[in-house]
Structure 1
Amino acid sequence: MSSSSRSSGAPGSGRIIVVSNRIPKGDVPAGGLVFAIDEVLTAAGGLWIGAADPTEFALEGLTEIGSGAYDRATFAITEAEHSGYYLGYANSVLWPLFHHRPDLLNFHDGDFEAYAAVNRRVARAIAAIAEPEDLIWIQDYHFLMVAQELRQLNVTNRIGLFLHIPFPSPTDVMALPQVAALSSWIAAHDVFGLQTKRDVTSANEMLRHDSKASLMPNGRWHRAGHQFQILSFPIGIDAVGFEETAKAADVPQLQLAAKAPLLIGVDRLDYSKGLVHRFKAFGDYLSRRTEGAPRPTFLQIAPVSREDVTAYQDIREELEQAAGSINGAHADLDWTPIRYVRRHFDRAVIAGLYRRADAALVTPLADGMNLVAKEFVAAQDPDDPGVLILSHFAGAAEQMEDALLVNPFDHGSFADAIDRALHMPLAERQERHAALRVSVFEEDIAWWTEAFLKRLRGTNRT
């Protein structure tokens, strides 16, 4: 790697080595996690490691794909490993389990072995280039074993992992065939970061059942001679940047009737997002709507993801059936209540739609954080803001108590919340929005990165 990746900070300081499954191979997009990592590495110097496109064979080591203020490099992965590591163990076992859906676990012979092989290859690549003062910052569930593999390679660097998805409950986690090893994977880190206090509670409860782990008076855990911390770091957004984007955005022509309310949802097409429950709750609201009342339109944008995973094919069919049934029951010649779009839109278009919307439905059944809630708040005009309807099961609910909080499984009360949002007086909308803005703008993406890295730098290597 190039010398430009070397930190110019205090004597003895090292690089930041970031590991993520996805890595920008071209220009870095504005906003989001990718933007935040780029900002950190540009300021501090370092190396960003991600997966290369799958090939027939996988070579050892890293392939440099960019340099400048910091380096970017990829590790190799085969087509078979992509199937077993990514589509298999990561997204057909860990993803549903960590989103509290053990009923959707899909085990295949060889998937865990592929996951372990990729994690070991990444660890060997890091061990070959890491210098003693480098910080190693791992992102998400794709690399739960990397820290343990690094320790077995005698790497003593400070290692942190941030899990962007929820942590499974103590009962759900028992469905993982490798549950006996999960504690040792976590314990190999110095800081194991989670989104919410609720997640920290679940992780701590799991560790309490590990006879080799003990909770120390200072709040740290001790296992196999190593101390580590489990802490919550609720991820934020580039609030100022997103607000400016929303202000400057041209609102698409939606061809709605004058004064017709617009509700919006923006999610990846995923069973964890509660989209079918959301459609049904909106259908309940429409059934209660009085004659002559304004005719709202619910715009749901849900780009397709992971089409090769069976559970995603099923949720797509179920959602299309729900949309068709509700529209068939309530639509008129000049009104389609649900507009369901399965394509990606640019960030500026989404920001403009948020600013135009009267309410946002952010109602996952399980979610690590859900940044759509924060983007919606940042995009609003403070003088005439829309209303955020937020699930209790979104991690964001811990910070955003002034939203209309709902149980997405209870379609009746969910429908009541939609009605309340569309009839909420201006003064109440302004008051709620002002309160929501505080955490969105104070605990933004820069705050998140600084908080995690400060904690990681401050750990004592043991």
Structure 2
Amino acid sequence: MKENSNRLVVVSYRLPFHVEEGALKQNSGGLVSAMLSYAKGKTNNPNIKSSSTKIVWVGVSEDSIEDLANAKRDEDQDCFEMIPIHLDEEMQQSFYEGFCNNEIWPLFHYFSHLAHFSSKDYEQYQKANHFIADQIVKHIQPGDRLWIHDYHFLLLPRLLRNQFSNLEIGFFLHIPFPSYEIFRLLPRSWREDLLLGMLGADLIGFHTFDYIQHFSECAIRMISAQVTGNWITTEEGSSRIEAFPIGIDAQAFANDRFSPLVQKGKEAVVEAIENRALIFSVDRLDYTKGLSARLLAIENFFSKYPEWINKVVFNMVVVPSRDTIPSYRKMKLEIESHVGRINGLISTLDWRPVVYQYRHLKREEMIALYSMSDVALITPLRDGMNLVAKEFVASQPPEKPGVLILSEMAGTSAELREALTVNPNDNDEIADTLKIALEMPIEEKRVLWNKLQDRVHSYDVFAWSSDFLHSLSNSAIIRKTKRTTPLIDKEVEVMQASYMISSKRAILLDYDGTLVPFHRDPEKAVPSPQVHEILSRLCSDPKNEISIISGRNRSFLERWFGDLPLHLVAEHGASQKLIEKEWEYIWNESDDWKNPFREIMFTFTQRCPGSFIENKRTSLVWHYRNADPIYGVELARELSQKLKSVLQKPEEFKVLEGNHIVEVRPGLIDKGSAALRVFNELKHPFILAIGDDRTDEDLFSVLPEHAYGIKVGKGNTQAKYQLRDPSDVVRLLEYLAAPQGNWII
């Protein structure tokens, strides 16, 4: 393999071109247009910060790699190296037509009643993602950056992350990410797979902040992810999430207004509308676009404002798409029925209110219509972004700009604030807004257009691409610093060798989340017979000195571990029982200090169903593991700040946020101090410390350099290593207790 290739590898469902009659023809789609503009301009545009020297595009195609390489092409088409992926007919049908178009597409666009939840389709979706991952692996070179696009490949980032731990992987979703209530309609295992699949990327990009919020909520509720700012953390790592509203090559649209072909098209428009105002829309045939609803709104406009009859033309262009599918054919017939009815009701010999075109428009035709339109009526029922709105703005003449009417359900509406926004389901609002737009003074139009075109030009496709890729590089660096090293065979073998040769060993173990999984009822989180037996074997070795350092109270630890020759440290170090000695209290003050904190916690317990207060001898703990995961986290932060605000002597008490808890305890008590006290400053040749919680960070912070600190689960940590869950901890301890066995994770 080559070294330091510094290539950008783009992965999307379609390649940018296909072979037709021996020549390359551009495929349709906003991503193709965006990346083609980016590729052509990246070497001479000052906005481009990318250092990539070559773009490799991987996508599904019926063309062979030889046909693509040998096809006739112009200079603009020579900016990609294309790698076609070929799917068999069954996989293609169930993966693309099935799961992608009949399940993900309708569900993510809030048409849940149209989604078909087919296990066969999902199985083929998984197989297709695995197959494509295997093909990509063959072509990856050191130094490559990977940019995966859209809902066809939600599983792909994780699959490739498992193959390349240090590969820069970005993922961008071009459609909406739905709310939790919609996304949860997917079967449990599917939705968890899809979320974890996306989170294999260093950076996940969405069009809008709303989609980020929806994704974050789903990750918190469905896979117990932790969200801190723009970072989402799971057991498998951390990913950054950001909004990058996709742009267009705005300057190219502005320049093309003056091309001879566009000028000819504009003359044809002038001749056709005969001094009438022009309302324009163009959409792909799809139920998300609200095409029938738009026609009904136009009909309502002429009914409500008859003075505009014979003074305005609505040019509706529908681009053919999937019209071999019965539901799409039915949609097309419905649209044409509306057009016929409206034209039949109010047209005259020399005027049709609706000019309907069902065909693909050439670029010059589109720009001519954009530049000549008085109003662009863009009213999808749901749209991830909508680049037509931006193309309209970029193509408008500054001396006589038109007005953009935009659905509030389009992602673009969050960015193009000067557009006149409407609810696509409100015919009266659309009719009224059309009247406002058509009658708007030219000075007001110019003010709105100037602000819109500033945004379209300042955050164009080049800014979008370079912004994403720059953030990807930074995110990949930060992700690596957040990542602890998973314990694998090599590290465990080194640990086991150190364990065997050491004459004195210290083993420090947390309890909840370390030796046992968490339970909704803490009293039911008890050690298994296997855990007890392994600890007994470790304790029987005279070289071992073992301690359980837990937040549990002393009666619980005594009940379950009192028969073993090990140290017990309760309530994070507030009391301790050394081997063959009695319990002693490190903190022996009265409980009066708890009163103001208890009152505050009680108030929050009433506000948060599922939460409760635990009164330990030396601390107060507010538990919210059984509460709503999002509301619980929000209240925990609020409670923490409230408790800190009443601390009269902050050095005497600590407020700590742990694993689904908020705890108040004396400031001198922590696991690090307890470990140093119990183990005589931790001078053992071999030291192993394992914990899962924020409170265990105090322990990790005092470990000497040669110690093995292990964090259980996700999150930032001072520990050197990481294990997934308590079952891994049990396997590790079993391996140390019986080193002739095999270490398997």
- The TM-score with structure 1 as length reference comes to 0.91
Aligned positions of 1:98-137 closer than 5 A: 98-108=108-118, 110-137=120-147
Matched, 1:267 2:280: no
CA distance in 1, matches of 2:155, 2:111: 22
CA distance in 2, matches of 1:205, 1:233: 19
**1:9 — aligned with what?**
none
User: Which of 179, 182, 202 is equivalent to 1:172?
Assistant: 182
Question: Secondary structure of the equivalent of 1:247?
Answer: coil
Q: Deviations over 1:27-52 (max 9, x none)?
A: 66898224135337876214111112
User: Which of 42, 54, 58 is equivalent to 1:49?
Assistant: 58
Contact 1:195 1:234 in 2 (8 A): yes
CA distance in 2, matches of 1:29, 1:95: 20
User: Which of 333, 347, 369 is equivalent to 1:331?
Assistant: 347
CA distance in 2, matches of 1:49, 1:350: 29
Matched, 1:209 2:201: no
5+ residue gaps, structure 2, are 19-23, 44-51, 71-77, 484-745
Q: Which residue identity is paired with 2:69? A: G
1:82, distance to aligned residue in structure 2 (A): 1.9
User: Which of 140, 143, 163 is equivalent to 1:153?
Assistant: 163
Q: Deviations over 1:199-242 (max 9, x none)?
A: 111111111203431113x5311112311011110000000001
**1:407 — aligned with what?**
423
User: Which of 139, 153, 161 is equivalent to 2:149?
Assistant: 139
Aligned positions of 1:419-434 closer than 5 A: 419-434=435-450
Greater shift in the superposed pair: 260-269 or 321-330: 321-330
Aligned positions of 1:197-276 closer than 5 A: 197-216=209-228, 218-248=229-259, 249=262, 250=264, 251=266, 253-254=268-269, 255-256=271-272, 258-276=274-292
Q: Which residue identity is paired with 1:32? A: S
CA distance in 2, matches of 1:269, 1:348: 21
Distance 1:88 1:429, change over 3 A: same
- Which of the two has greater strand per residue? 2
**1:314 — aligned with what?**
330
Matched, 1:438 2:440: no
Q: Deviations over 1:131-153 (max 9, x none)?
A: 34211101111111111221333
1:325, distance to aligned residue in structure 2 (A): 1.8
Aligned positions of 1:2-21 closer than 5 A: 12=4, 14-21=6-13
CA distance in 2, matches of 1:212, 1:388: 42
CA distance in 1, matches of 2:280, 2:348: 20
**1:32 — aligned with what?**
33
1:170, distance to aligned residue in structure 2 (A): 0.9
**1:193 — aligned with what?**
205
1:310, distance to aligned residue in structure 2 (A): 4.0
Question: Secondary structure of the equivalent of 1:175?
Answer: coil
Distance 1:310 1:153, change over 3 A: farther
Q: Which residue identity is paired with 2:172? A: F
Greater shift in the superposed pair: 65-74 or 156-165: 65-74
Q: Which residue identity is paired with 1:86? A: Y
**1:65 — aligned with what?**
68
5+ residue gaps, structure 1, are 7-11, 56-61
1:330, distance to aligned residue in structure 2 (A): 1.6
Greater shift in the superposed pair: 241-250 or 352-361: 241-250
Q: Which residue identity is paired with 1:237? A: I
Aligned length: 447
1:247, distance to aligned residue in structure 2 (A): 2.8
1:154, distance to aligned residue in structure 2 (A): 4.5
Q: Which residue identity is paired with 1:122? A: I
CA distance in 2, matches of 1:367, 1:69: 30
Greater shift in the superposed pair: 177-186 or 349-358: 177-186
Contact 2:11 2:148 in 1 (8 A): yes
Greater shift in the superposed pair: 196-205 or 34-43: 34-43
CA distance in 1, matches of 2:218, 2:243: 16
CA distance in 1, matches of 2:121, 2:42: 33
Distance 1:29 1:172, change over 3 A: closer
1:85, distance to aligned residue in structure 2 (A): 1.1
Matched, 1:391 2:407: yes
Q: Deviations over 1:314-350 (max 9, x none)?
A: 3212212221222222212221111111100101110
Q: Deviations over 1:374-425 (max 9, x none)?
A: 0000111111111111110111111111111111100001100111111111
Distance 1:293 1:85, change over 3 A: closer
Contact 2:7 2:143 in 1 (8 A): yes
1:107, distance to aligned residue in structure 2 (A): 3.8
Contact 1:303 1:343 in 2 (8 A): yes
**Higher radius of gyration, 1 or 2:** 2
1:89, distance to aligned residue in structure 2 (A): 0.7
Contact 1:54 1:77 in 2 (8 A): no
Distance 1:70 1:407, change over 3 A: closer
Q: Which residue identity is paired with 1:82? A: Q
User: Which of 297, 310, 315 is equivalent to 1:299?
Assistant: 315
1:294, distance to aligned residue in structure 2 (A): 4.7
Contact 1:16 1:46 in 2 (8 A): yes
Question: Secondary structure of the equivalent of 1:209?
Answer: helix
Question: Secondary structure of the equivalent of 2:421?
Answer: strand
Distance 1:64 1:457, change over 3 A: farther
Q: Which residue identity is paired with 1:156? A: N
CA distance in 2, matches of 1:290, 1:437: 33
1:64, distance to aligned residue in structure 2 (A): 8.5
CA distance in 1, matches of 2:166, 2:324: 38
1:79, distance to aligned residue in structure 2 (A): 1.8
Q: Which residue identity is paired with 2:14? A: R
Distance 1:120 1:419, change over 3 A: same
1:447, distance to aligned residue in structure 2 (A): 0.3
1:70, distance to aligned residue in structure 2 (A): 4.7
Distance 1:311 1:189, change over 3 A: farther
Q: Deviations over 1:119-173 (max 9, x none)?
A: 1111111222213421110111111111122133355311111111111111111
> RMSD across aligned C-alpha pairs, in angstroms?
2.4
CA distance in 2, matches of 1:351, 1:148: 41
1:65, distance to aligned residue in structure 2 (A): 3.4
CA distance in 2, matches of 1:183, 1:91: 19
CA distance in 2, matches of 1:380, 1:138: 33
Distance 1:425 1:156, change over 3 A: same
**1:84 — aligned with what?**
94
Contact 1:300 1:339 in 2 (8 A): yes
**2:194 — aligned with what?**
182
**2:306 — aligned with what?**
290
Distance 1:226 1:310, change over 3 A: farther
CA distance in 2, matches of 1:91, 1:229: 27
Distance 1:156 1:309, change over 3 A: farther
CA distance in 2, matches of 1:29, 1:174: 34
**2:373 — aligned with what?**
357
Distance 1:175 1:308, change over 3 A: farther
Question: Secondary structure of the equivalent of 2:238?
Answer: strand
